[in-house]
Each structure stands twice: as C-alpha cells, then as structure tokens.
Amino acid sequence: MSPTPDMTTHIGKLVLDNPVMVASGTFGFGEEYDGLMDVRALGAIVTKGISLEPRVGNPAPRTAETPCGMINSVGLQNPGLRGFVEHKLPWLKEVPCKVVVNILGDTVEEYATLARELDGVPGVDAMEVNISCPNVEHGGMTFGSDPQTARRVAEAVRAETDKPVLVKLSPNVTSIVQVAEAVITAEIDGLTLINTISAMAIDYATGKPLLGAITGGLSGPAIKPVAVRAVFEVARACETSIVGCGGIASWQDAVEFIRAGASAVQVGSATFRSPSSAVRVIDGLRGFLSHIDCSSCRELVGKVNI
C-alpha cells in the first residue's frame, strides 16, 4: 500500500482532478443527482447534449431494459444553448468539478456556431462533440459514420474554440480506427469512445417496438466488451488521449478501460442502476492504484500485457 496515488489526468489540455466523469445524457445537468451522491467528487460532468435551439425529443416510450443493459431513444430533448446557459450552467458553475458540454447539430455549421458561442462562456471547461446525429444536409447518415464528415465537424469546432475539444465516436462503423485517424487530424484534445450501439427491441406478445422511435442506442454492461475493443484499437493506432465509455459500472471496469488505453473514463447508464456508481469507481480506482503501488493513475494508461 503506497500513499494516496495521484489521480490527476490529462486529456489534451483538459486537466481533471480524477479520471472519472459521468457520461452525456445519463446525468442530466448535474443537479438532478445532487444529494443522491457526491457530485463534487467527480472528475467532470458531461452534460446532456445541447443543440442551438431547444428540442422536445422522440416519442414515448424512450427507454427499454435489455439483457445487461438498456436501449434509449431519448433523442435530443434539451433546453437549447440559451436555456442551458441561463438555467443549467449557473448550478454547474458552483460545482468544483469540471464541466464538459456535449454538443450536437444538424449541420456542420450548427456545430461551429455552438462551439463559437460556448467558447466565450465561463464555467464551460471543455466541449464534447456528439457526431452520432443525422447529417440533415446529407441524407440523414450520421456525421460519425464517415471519416471525412466526422473530420469536418471536428475541424469546424476546433476552428471556433480554444477550449479543450473531445470528439465522441460512434461504434456503428466498419472501422472506428479510420474515423479516429481522420478526426484527430483536426488537432482536437481527445476522443470519447464509445457512444451507444444501434439496437432495437420488440414486445414479442404485441409486436410493438419497445421504443416509440423504433430503434435506439444500446448501453450498459452488455456493450462493455465492444467499448474496450474500440479503446484498445484506437489507442494502438492513434496519438491522442482517449476517454473510455460503455458499460462501466465498477472500478474494475474502469481499470480495464484505462489498461486498454483510456486516460479517463465515463460512467453512463450505471448511474441509473445506482446513483453513486461513479463515486464508487473513483474510490475503488484510488484504492486499486494504491494497492498495486502505482503512484499515478496516468501510469496505468495502456498497461495491457500482451
């Protein structure tokens, strides 16, 4: 047992007190979990995805349980940029942990505008670009499904802000490494891997899809092996910082992602199962590092024994 390990981590120029964030869309705007767990202990809060204008999202039902996970089609319900800055950010500013704003748009221009507007906003520590949204100008394929389109979004955002920028990749591609390679040419600060996997469930008895939007995104422990593989492959291929996400529910899961190559992790759906999941990940990770006499969590990054 060594003394308390250094939990600080770097994702490009974003510095976090500890490598554990909560994932976009699973933690609202933070205040929802105030009092239910120690929000202040988090490395960072990633907000629900923000668009330029408010959106009402998809028809109900929007969530369904699946084996070891869930699918959601929340869609893009959010208060819009103004609503966020006016009503949600003030509370977040009071919290000592970092605030990462997840952004999404229908066009490259919208992403750029969001980045430009948020660039000047105090209390926003970084942006995470969600490119798993349909590209309205190009037939509805998501921005993240084509390396060059993904790169263009990353470049547009990078051009508008000096704040740290993470780009969050979709696993619904033939080669996530190719998308990663294209995106990092935009000199962003890091990649978040992964968003949800395209999925669907049908009520066998009634034949009704369990989601109002018919298809949705699979998350939770079920997808962990897919996410670990994505992190591992991208870490081998790309010179960039990686934030691992997908099915993390315990500190052991976090260690697995860090060893695969992640400099930080995000706890997503597991918060629904138990609100303090992320805090337990932090405590457990600290304990593990100390147990293996590792003085800094950064030392563990990529430590896979092949």
Partner 1 sequence: MATAHNITAELKQVRHFGKDLVLLRLFAPSVALAATPGQFVMLGPLDPRCMDPFLCRPISIFGVTDEGELDLLIAAAGRGTRMISAWTEGLRVELTGPLGHGFESDTKNLLLVGGGVGVAPLVFLADTQLAKGRKCTLLYGAARSEMMVDLQKLQDRGCLVKLATDDGSVGHHGLVTDLLSKHLSASHSHDTLVAACGPSPMLKEVWRNCSEHGVDLQVSLENRMACGTGACMGCSLLISGKALRVCKQGPVFSGGEVFQ
Ligand X SMILES: Cc1cc2nc3c(=O)[nH]c(=O)nc-3n(C[C@H](O)[C@H](O)[C@H](O)COP(=O)(O)O)c2cc1C
State the residues that interact with ligand X by CB under 6 A: 23-26, 48-49, 72, 74, 102, 130, 168, 195-196, 219-220, 223, 245-248, 268-270
Cβ-based nearer residue to a copy of itself, 54 or 75? 75
Residue 260 contacts which entry, ligand X, partner 1, a copy of itself, none (Cβ below 5-8 A, type-dependent): a copy of itself
Cβ-based nearer residue to a copy of itself, 163 or 286? 286
Question: Which amino acid type is present at position 182?
Answer: A
Cβ-based nearer residue to a copy of itself, 114 or 201? 201
Site string for a copy of itself, 287-306 (x = CB under 8 A): -x--------------xxxx
The residues in 255-274 that bind a copy of itself, with binding defined as CB under 8 A, are 255-256, 259-260
Should residue 36 be labelled a site residue for a copy of itself when binding is judged by CB under 8 A?
Answer: no
Residue 71 contacts which entry, a copy of itself, partner 1, ligand X, none (Cβ below 5-8 A, type-dependent): a copy of itself
Tokens of 161: 């802000």
From the CB of 139, what's the least distance to a copy of itself, in Å? Answer: 12
Residue 304 contacts which entry, a copy of itself, partner 1, ligand X, none (Cβ below 5-8 A, type-dependent): a copy of itself
Should residue 247 be labelled a site residue for a copy of itself when binding is judged by CB under 8 A?
Answer: yes
Catalytic annotation present for 238: no
Should residue 214 be labelled a site residue for a copy of itself when binding is judged by CB under 8 A?
Answer: yes
Cβ-based nearer residue to a copy of itself, 50 or 223? 223
Catalytic positions are: 133
